[in-house]
Amino acid sequence: MTKNTILLALLIRLLIIPFFYHPDIKSTLFHTQYLQFGVGDIYSFVEQNKSQLPYNNIFVYLPFTYFFLGFINILLSPLYPSAFSSWITDWGFFQNNNPNLPFILLILKLPYLIFDFGTGWLIYRLTQNKRYLNFWLFNPISLYLIYIQGNFDIIPTFFTLACLYFLSVKKDYLGYLSLGIGIALKIYPILFLPFILLKYSPSLKKIIISTIITFIPLILSLIPYIFQANFYSSFIGSGLTQKLLENKLFNIPVFPLLYLIILFIFYLSKTKNLDRQLLLLFFIFVSTVNFHPQWLIWFLPFIIPYFYSKSKYLLVFVFVFSLLYVFLINDNFLFWAHLTPVDWEFTRATSPYNLILLKTPLHPDVLRSVAKTLISLFCLFFLFYEKKSTSNHR
């Protein structure tokens, strides 16, 4: 990895960061800013002040997320322009028509650079392959999800990948603690935990100890809120919990059922190929869950090396149809409106979703389902082809 490669990757990111926007970054910041004003219980604060707040949606994340992002906000606050306070409190019709928005976005997304490059470094340390690092640094999916979509999911992704790195160098306690931080930030890494335990902690005693260490950050951050109804009503409103259970077959949630099946197969496996199993987890996730775009970043660092080493072209197909799925969601801020910092009129441009409704007999929801099905078929084909290829070489 040369300095020129790093500088080029950094330059590309700095050119993207100021000119692409999604309102999620503002809504998260709106809540976490209150930490610097001494608010410790954001859930009760929002509930008690709904009538007075310019933005009164609930905070749907965990307490550790509030404190972690709130602390980052405190560190960044000296860099904010003087117009920042008027922007963060403006939720009216012209809320996105702000000349300071590019500079504000540049400041807000600076932490993403650290965790993004940190994730690339971890990929290299785990694989010892510069090609995988280069692919991470320049692939359009991660650039879109981290800097255009602008969600903080790269942070728990970094801590989840750091878990595997620490485990690979026999620093088990640090590994499980890192995974615990990821879970405390966003609950989804708990999906990876059983597979990691079976791979790296085969004995019952070690599984128990590792599980306890993993949940320390979550438990400690939840203690003050255990008996608070406001916290439970806010967290239950999060999208992940609902979407994992919404698709059913004979009234049985499909994703949990398939998840348990592949976990059981992994348990019986002698080789414990974690990379392949995480790819299979990605396959059932995109097949059965109506995922939000930013959720794709959860899997990318784990599937890129495995996919890339076996079939680059198939990886490109998965990326293309993943973007197609994203652009067909009924949200203008997933397409033209991303360019709001360039010109506020982009918020009024007709989204691909509505263009298809207006100009074609097709329904975008059907096309999105087709794109999702194709992603699943690509993954299924890859798993079948890879398994057959492995058998032929024995």
Of 212 and 227, which is predicted with more confidence?
A: 212
For residue range 322-355, list pLDDT tens digits in order.
888 888 888 888 888 889 898 888 888 888 888 8
User: Is residue 373 within a helix (H) or strand (E), and if so which, with residue range?
Assistant: helix 364-392
DSSP code string of 32-49: HGGGGGT---HHHHHHHT
For residue range 244-298, list pLDDT tens digits in order.
777 787 888 888 999 999 999 999 988 888 888 888 898 888 888 888 888 889 9
Integer Cα distance of 355 and 372 in angstroms: 20
| pTM, 2 dp | 0.92
Question: Can you say whether the dihedral through the CA atoms of 78, 80, 83, 86 is positive or negative?
Answer: negative
Integer Cα distance of 180 and 103 in angstroms: 33
- Structure tokens that stand for 380 in this block: 């299924």
Integer Cα distance of 315 and 310 in angstroms: 9
Q: What does the longest C-alpha to C-alpha distance in the chain come to?
A: 68
End-to-end CA distance of the chain: 34
| C-alpha to C-alpha distances, 143 to 113, 148, 212, 294, 349, nearest whole angstrom | 10, 7, 35, 11, 23
pLDDT above 90 (res 387): no
What percent of the chain shows pLDDT beyond 90?
Answer: 48
Q: Is the Cβ–Cβ distance between 67 and 225 less than 8 Å?
A: no
Residue 41: phi and psi, rounded to 5, are -110, 90
Q: How many CA atoms lie within 13 A of 338 on its CB side?
A: 18
Of 368 and 390, which is predicted with more confidence?
A: 368
Find all residues with CB under 8 Å of 49, minimum gap 6, and list them: 56
For residue range 155-172, list pLDDT tens digits in order.
999 999 999 999 999 999
> Residue 390 has what pLDDT?
52
Confidence tier at 384 by pLDDT (50, 70, 90): confident
- Structure tokens that stand for 289 in this block: 């869950």
